[in-house]
Amino acid sequence: MLNFVVKRLILAALVTSAVLLISFSLLYLAGDPAASIAGESASAADIQKIRELYGFDRPMLVQFFDWLWHALQGDFGQSYFFKMPVADLIADRMTVTLTLGVSGMLFALVTAVPLGVIAALRPNSMIDRFALFLSVMGQALPSFWFGLMMVVLFAVRLNWLPASGSETWMHFVMPTIVLGYYAMPAIMRLTRAGMLEVLGADYIRTARAKGAGPARVVVKHALRNAVVPVVSLAAVQMGFMLGGSIVVETVFALHGAGFLAWESISRNDLPTVQALILIFSCFYIAFTFLSDLLNAWIDPRIRIG
């Protein structure tokens, strides 16, 4: 087991450095960082001056290892755009993204798993149709449109919730629903499919035969087995929600890390983008790793295997 974990960690580190190197070169090819820093009103000579000042005239690999060396010591450098330490900037923006990601995931799980279970218990019933309808809508509605419609209804028409900003918990209600709703359908369909399969299994009949109550059968015997793939899916979704909530962050003016990453790419703010890529890839790896651990805890077969 320990061997397995160490191997996986080494692999993860390799994957991370490959991602970093590739993203660094892509950003480098995408445009001259000196021109971005100088802004739209700079002349060629100004840009050349900035290129020398910031060391962009050095070979790309030298710049990359220079960055990596500092990053390994926890120094992500200064944001070219904000002229403040990247670490402070990301710490600030990450708070919003984590709050949104965790609450969105909770919303998705809390609605999707029970709905999936109920849908599986009564296949082809009204409730199953309703669940199907919800999931099709969730897949089909673009987040920006759904977000705006929520704003029109709850902020403009009813004036219950604030339309933008991240000062209070009220500001997170609509973004959470929009982001969570996007992740919900897959989780629900997978729960339903898993439950349907498990409920037909022999051991469920055995459990019922030995007199276990319906709640015990569903939760302890069926759900526990059906939920294994759901956990893996949720882990991947979580990684996606942290890095990919750009649309939701934009619509609700949340200024999270996803939005920061998106904006920093167009600003050629290399230190910020690199740090964010490092953090996001670490998140992905950590979540995948955690989901494996969690599955091993839920399902003893994985633990032994």
Binding site for another protein (CB under 8 A): 30-33, 35-47, 49-50, 53-54, 81-84, 89, 92, 118, 121-122, 125-127, 130, 144, 148, 151-152, 155-159, 162-165, 214, 218, 250-253, 255, 259, 263, 266, 268
Residues 6+ apart with CB under 8 A from 118: 127, 128, 131
* Minimum CB distance to another protein, residue 5 (Å): 40
Q: Residue 119: which of 228, 203, 210, 194 has the closest Cα?
A: 194
* Minimum CB distance to another protein, residue 205 (Å): 13
Closer of 56 and 280 to another protein (Cβ): 56
Strand-pairing partners, residue 78, are 85
CB atoms within 10 A of CB 131: 26
DSSP 153: I
* Minimum CB distance to another protein, residue 6 (Å): 41
E strands, the chain, where?
none
* Minimum CB distance to another protein, residue 300 (Å): 27
Closer of 14 and 149 to another protein (Cβ): 149
Closer of 108 and 117 to another protein (Cβ): 117
Rounded Cα–Cα distance for residues 46 and 44 (Å): 5
Tokens of 275: 């740090």
* Minimum CB distance to another protein, residue 288 (Å): 31
DSSP 156: I
* Minimum CB distance to another protein, residue 48 (Å): 8
Closer of 110 and 156 to another protein (Cβ): 156
Residue 130 and residue 201 in contact, taking contact as beta carbons nearer than 8 Å: no
Rounded Cα–Cα distance for residues 213 and 16 (Å): 48
Closer of 17 and 266 to another protein (Cβ): 266
The residue to which tokens 């690199």 are assigned? 274
Rounded Cα–Cα distance for residues 20 and 275 (Å): 9
* Minimum CB distance to another protein, residue 164 (Å): 5
Tokens of 35: 């021109």
Closer of 27 and 228 to another protein (Cβ): 27
Residue 36 and residue 80 in contact, taking contact as beta carbons nearer than 8 Å: yes
* Minimum CB distance to another protein, residue 176 (Å): 16
Q: Residue 25: which of 15, 33, 36 has the closest Cα?
A: 33
| SS3 of residue 85 by DSSP | strand
Rounded Cα–Cα distance for residues 171 and 254 (Å): 9
The residue to which tokens 């709703």 are assigned? 181
Residue 27 and residue 270 in contact, taking contact as beta carbons nearer than 8 Å: yes
Closer of 177 and 285 to another protein (Cβ): 177
Closer of 46 and 299 to another protein (Cβ): 46
